[in-house]
Amino acid sequence: MKILSPKQAIVALDFDSFEEADFIINFLDPDKFRLKVGKQLFSSEGPKVLEKINKKGFEIFLDLKLHDIPNTVYKALINLLRHNVWMTNIHLLGGEEMIKAAAEAKNDSKSNTLLVGVTLLTSLNQNNLDNLGLNISISKLVETLSMVARENFIDGVVCSVEEVLSLKKNIGKDFITVTPGIRINEKSGDQSRVATLEEAVTNNSDFIVLGREITSSKDIPQMIKKIESYII
């Protein structure tokens, strides 16, 4: 089953140190995978970890999910975009002014880094929204946020596999979709809106984030080989 394009799968380096991440990096081919640095690794290693990963030939998705007042997001992005990062992100629930500030930072940095927006974390379900007093369906919320993102020159969104088809139809085929919450064998853990790798690809997800599916696997090299076998 050859269903994944090279570099369509992004491996989440959810570790506390570069040394731990490096154990997995050494099994990965930069022509086949991209890597994701999130809050866990970045908060312990700082920006120098980006250089170390770049040196190994990988493109990086810097997943810091910025969510703050517009001025702070603008300034943080100006700093982050000085690094060699392939993709980074903000939380779209930060509001339209914050989204505009993020797009402006990318523009002012003359950066080619892709800037995507988190719609609703895949760990949240409809019940969680209802309990927060948010009387809106997940699909409507995701679509509205994506629309605002597109209008403000954001390159795409992080969303669940369930939402990809309708976003491609209603927002645009070229609007990038990044889908975490992908499962190959494992149970869902703390993720609510999960899907299989095959569903993600069939629904036309552009990029697929694989975290614990690899990092918590009992036999990491074998799991990586299995995923590699899906790459065209």
| CB-based burial label for 15 (10 Å; 0-12, 13-18, 19+) | buried
State the catalytic residue, choosing from 36, 48, 56, 65.
65
Neighbours of 150 (CB within 10 A): 19
Place of tokens 């703390």: 190
Task: Rule CB under 6 A: say whether 38 interacts with ligand C5P.
Answer: yes
Scanning 79-87, 121-129, 198-206, 221-229 for contacts with ligand C5P by CB under 6 A, the matching segment is: 121-129
**Of residues 191, 203, 205, 217, which one binds ligand C5P by CB under 6 A?**
191
Please choose, from the candidates 160, 163, 173, 117, the residue with its C-alpha nearest in 3D space to the C-alpha of residue 139.
Answer: 163
Task: Rule CB under 6 A: say whether 63 interacts with ligand C5P.
Answer: yes
Task: Rule CB under 6 A: say whether 177 interacts with ligand C5P.
Answer: no
Task: Rule CB under 6 A: say whether 180 interacts with ligand C5P.
Answer: yes
Please choose, from the candidates 81, 83, 97, the residue with its C-alpha nearest in 3D space to the C-alpha of residue 47.
Answer: 83
Task: Rule CB under 6 A: say whether 212 interacts with ligand C5P.
Answer: yes
Please answer whether residues 159 and 143 qualify as being in contact, where contact means their C-beta atoms are separated by less than 8 angstroms. no
Task: Clarify whether 55 is annotated catalytic.
Answer: no
Binding residues vs ligand C5P (CB under 6 A): 12, 14, 38, 63, 118, 121-123, 158, 180-181, 189, 191, 209-213
